[in-house]
Amino acid sequence: MPGRVKCFVSGCNNSWYRNTISNEGTLSFHRLPKNTVLIEKYENILKTKVPNAQNARVCGQHFKNGKRESPSELPISHIPPASNSEAGPICPKRKAPTPRGPVPPPKPRNQYFNTYKERMMKKQLDKKQAEINNLNEQLISKEMKIQDLQNLLQESRTNTGMEHNKVNACEADIIRLQNGLQEWEFNIERFIKDDSKMVFYTGLNSEQFNSFWEFVEPEISTPKRRKGISRKNELFAVLVKLRLGLQYEDLADRLGLSRQTVSRLFEGWITFLSSIVAKINL
């Protein structure tokens, strides 16, 4: 029940807010019945006009057994028991005071000051100690993160070293394969050190071919093509066709070029060599 609930009967001072109790125990407070006939009977018996039937309360001291037993039970009197009406509300007994020893004499003023000063210093010290503990926890957390990063860095270095070794091995394989391919490529670099093969394919030995190239190279005015073989290998291919009479398809397959490229290459060199020979006084 909410506080400040008071018995509506005129002359009754019992209220829930004052925690009024009877000799039998805590007082009970009851709502009024909703029946208007019963409300009129309450007003006649209690000799008090009900101000608000919904909010009005009547205490149990106006009933026969100190509380209402049923909703249809009527009060017996508007006057509470003499013990309560004369003496007022009964308050709970207080606990007996605890016996105490003699009061100690007051401390000197400087001792009170020292105690306060020590207490303040201890409070500040505890605050600083808490800050230090917090910083230590943060430092430990940072050290753990640094250790984790160092472990990741070491692991990355290890993985990088392994990958670097793999790359080196792959590069070595590529170089080996390229060297192997060069051994099977049909070009001047493959035969230049073998005079017998040079004579077979071109009709010139290595020294003669190099001398012929030194004579021809200064006369070349057109730039090297972006794709295809070098100028020196072009001269080598022209000499091979003149020497062996290979078909364009065969020579194109050996050089890794198209038939049209080989045809244009051969015709261009024949015209170029003819112009050089025409300049020589025989």
User: Mapping DSSP to helix (H, G, I), strand (E, B) and coil, where does residue 101 land?
Assistant: coil
Residues in a beta bridge with 58: 30
* Strand bridging mode 57-59 / 29-31: antiparallel
Q: Per-residue pLDDT for the chain (282 aa), expressed as one digit of tens each?
A: 455 678 888 878 787 765 555 445 577 888 888 888 888 888 888 888 887 777 788 888 888 877 888 877 888 876 655 444 444 444 555 677 777 778 777 766 666 656 777 788 888 888 988 999 998 899 898 889 988 888 888 888 888 888 888 888 888 878 777 666 656 688 898 899 999 999 999 999 999 999 999 999 888 877 666 567 889 999 999 999 999 999 999 999 988 889 999 999 999 999 999 888 887 665
Q: Say what the pLDDT of residue 90 is.
A: 46
Residues 6+ apart with CB under 8 A from 191: 197, 198, 201
Q: Say what the pLDDT of residue 247 is.
A: 93
Q: Say what the pLDDT of residue 107 is.
A: 67
DSSP one-letter code for 140: H
Instruction: Report CA-CA distances (Å) from 167 to 152, 163, 172.
Output: 22, 6, 9
Residues 6+ apart with CB under 8 A from 193: 206
